[in-house]
Structure 1
Amino acid sequence: MPRLTHELIARSVPPAPASPAAPLPDETRLRAEMQVFLHGRDPELGIWVFAYGALMWEYAEARPDIVAPARLPGLARRYTLRDVHDRGTPDRPGLTLGLESVPALACTGLLLHLPGPGVEERLWPVWKQEMGPGFYRPEWCEAVMHAGRTAGGAPVRALSFVARHDHPLFAGEMPVGQTADILARSRGPNGTAAAYLLDAAETLRRNGMRDALLESLEAELARRLDGPATSGAPARSAA
């Protein structure tokens, strides 16, 4: 059975079509929205951020001292957002992850601790990255650290970035096969959607966690990319 690897992705995902550069975010507006969201919090205190996508490996690799494995009850990681400027293009949109309300499930991820004072400046790069595209809304959620990190797995109030269903790039949940078809051919200025998927799944495994959806998609992408039709478009399965 083929296995999804960065080497397989590099040689199999076709080049991205030429596309205009992504519009620059309105930083003045984004900073104002961040300050409104943080209004009333003691500026001397730090905050926790729940990471479930790219923030996981970006911070886990750069600052392993500020991360803690955790889960977010009532929410699930889903490919429900179209990506047209990061790992996709307007002509060949990809998909990226968002948090969706699923009461019976819990999303595994990493809690990032941003200490105070000066927490606004520490939060700003995270806020700009996540809120710049416009398809997330910030929410305070109750995350639970994995056993062994805190006594009894006490809940932690954390900032989470949840998918906006009213945004034009919201696509809704698709069948696994359709999602895999899109991810297998998506590439943009910041790389491939397949590499993003692999990085997310591997980061979770390194931290003692698993995600059934991500691992199902890993297998689907490996089958599509590890075939004779990898010189142009990726091979497709009947799934």
Structure 2
Amino acid sequence: MEQSRALDEALKLLTGLDNDSTKRANIVEYVRENGRIAVFAYGSLIWNPCEHVEQIIPDCLLNGYIKGFICQDFIYRGTKDFTGLTMGLKPCEDCFVKGYMLMAGANKLISFIEAFIKRETPISVDGTKMDIYTYDFLPVIMSDGKTIEWALTCVVNSNSQFYLPMTLSIKQQAEIISQAYGINGTNFQYLHNTLHTYRRLSLIDTFTGEIEELYAAVLIYRKYLNKHERQWLESFEKLTTKDERELAIKLRKTNNIRMRQQKLFARAYSIEPTVSAKYNRMVSV
């Protein structure tokens, strides 16, 4: 009973479940009967799972949804000054998504969900919540093609200010992903790691053709970035800790501000002064 109450309280922290007591009750009952809880992973969670995962099952299938770079990211793979893109799911009747099932047993239920929440709903230093997802409990077909396991799933939050209701073209997405970066690395690294995991595990779904096309476009865009920009991004990708990346972002922002100030200063002093014509004062008689 105590664990059920704790689970219900944890689920209240998830957008979409916070004000749906019936759905939370169904999840709690499902977990009580099965002794485990699962998360359906389709993006970075498949190559960088959250903490307290006890079992990982690849090649699982979710019907009725499609992936897409339809969410803005201003923390992990972008900044407030230049937002990156991250994936979300949206309903699509004839579509399907391939991914992983991340599972935790009764002893790690709460810590697993708390780690999942912290990972997928980060808060920036100024207190802005990246509420790009709403959470649902959906039926996922396991790798045997028969067994169904219900799982917590990140679906795009269409009410979030960071949701992109208009689908960007491949060109527009590539332009953003080739340049954006955040505390977890560059947006390109996110795309690269995700796609290469799909390829390695042969995870083919409705989005496969588009993500392959997007990756090729990003490679071209990165190739034609100016030398300074490309070298900075490549150096940034070699940083190994979040602290190092945060410092690099801070320094770059400071340098950019200084450069803009210097340009304005130089421009101000490059303008030739205007000499006004002088007129003799007329003295009234």
The answer to which structure has the higher helix fraction is 2
The Cα offsets for residues 127-152 of structure 1, whole Å up to 9 and x where unpaired, read as: 22113321211101111123xxx3x4
1:114 matches 2:104:
yes
Matched residue, 1:220: 217
1:206 matches 2:200:
yes
Q: Could you tell me which of 162, 184, 187 is aligned with 2:155?
A: 162
* RMSD, aligned CA: 2.7
Q: Which structure has the greater CA radius of gyration?
A: 2
Q: Could you tell me which of 82, 93, 101 is aligned with 1:103?
A: 93
The Cα offsets for residues 138-180 of structure 1, whole Å up to 9 and x where unpaired, read as: 101111123xxx3x43222111011111111111321111111
Q: Could you tell me which of 10, 33, 39 is aligned with 1:49?
A: 39
Distance, in Å, in 1 between the alignment partners of 2:100 and 2:227 is 34
Residue 30 of structure 1: how far off its partner (Å): 6.8
Q: State the AA in 2 paired with 1:209.
A: L
Match runs of 1:62-101 below 5 Å? 65-101=55-91
Q: Which consecutive residues of structure 2, in runs of 5 or more, have no partner in the other structure?
A: 1-8, 123-129, 232-285
Residue 100 of structure 1: how far off its partner (Å): 0.9
1:33 matches 2:13:
yes
Residue 32 of structure 1: how far off its partner (Å): 4.1
Contact 2:38 2:102 in 1 (8 A): yes
Q: Which consecutive residues of structure 1, in runs of 5 or more, have no partner in the other structure?
A: 1-28, 235-239
Matched residue, 2:190: 196
Q: Note closer, same or farther for the CA distance 1:181–1:224 as it changes in structure 2 (3 Å cut).
A: same
Identity %: 23
TM-score by length of 1: 0.75
1:58 matches 2:48:
yes
Q: State the AA in 2 paired with 1:53.
A: G
Q: State the AA in 2 paired with 1:164.
A: N
Specify the SS of the correspondent of 2:158.
coil
